[in-house]
A and B are shown apart, each in its own frame.
Chain A
Amino acid sequence: DIQMTQSPSSLSAPVGDRVTITCRASQSISSHLNWFQQKPGKAPKLLVFAASNLQSGVPSSFIGSGSGTEFTLTISSLQPEDFATYYCQQSYSTPFTFGPGTKVDIK
């Protein structure tokens, strides 16, 4: 199985800050990397697919980049509705696997 790691595991930031979450794969997954946002009690929501493609309806403040084994999700200006847990997920090979999540809190 491909192992996914994320850093940091949590972060606190004020509204308006630029934040970056890093996701690493245990082997090269090309650009087969997706990012999800999850709020408490809700299903995950797709933000970015294939490493850098913004899902329809997602604000352009969410920016995905990377390829191979290292990827980043950047929120260019943190908004109150962005406080949530973020997960990366590889779709390069089954079993599909998710990172452990990064919780973004209000500072």
Chain B
Amino acid sequence: QVQLQESGPGLVKPSQTLSLTCTVSGGSISSGNYYWSWIRQPPGKGLEWIGNINYSGSTEYNPSLESRVTMSGDTSKEQFSLKLSSVTAADTAVYYCARDHLHGSGSSYFDSWGQGILVTVSS
């Protein structure tokens, strides 16, 4: 049973860079069957997909955040990371990492999630 766990600072100052890591246990980020995503949820609001990284290290980002987002992976540690630069209060949210299972039909679905980490942007 794969498990995902987010880690990183819970408080970031405006204009700085938010950095989070997701550690995967019970699975491998280099498996060809999965992509690895970051999703966020502002308090009391809905879900927003930030982007993903695949087994070869290729990334795809939400155009709404693309200019500020960088994702990377470390297969030796079974970790993948998110960096979001120039943060503002609007970036305050619970950040989730999730496994994106590639389905045979060409679709995909988020079948495993971390517990989430609240990141507050405030001075």
Contacts and interface: CB of A to CB of B under 8 A. Distances in A.
Interface stretch (B11-19, B42-50, B78-86): B42-50
Contact of B111 (A55, A89, A94, A96): A55
Interface string B88-119: 00000000101001010111111101111000
A32 to B, nearest CB: 4
Contacts of A100: 46
Contacts of A95: 49, 62-64
Interface residues of A, number: 25
A94 to B, nearest CB: 6
Interface of B: 37, 46-49, 60, 62-64, 96, 98, 101, 103, 105-111, 113-116
| 8 tightest Cβ-Cβ pairs between the two chains A and B | A49-B109, A43-B113, A95-B62, A96-B49, A98-B47, A32-B107, A34-B109, A91-B108
29 contacts: A32-B106, A34-B109, A34-B110, A42-B115, A43-B113, A43-B114, A43-B115, A44-B47, A44-B96, A49-B101, A49-B103, A49-B107, A49-B109, A49-B111, A50-B103, A55-B109, A55-B111, A89-B47, A89-B110, A94-B49, A94-B60, A95-B49, A95-B64, A96-B37, A96-B49, A98-B49, A99-B46, A100-B46, A101-B46
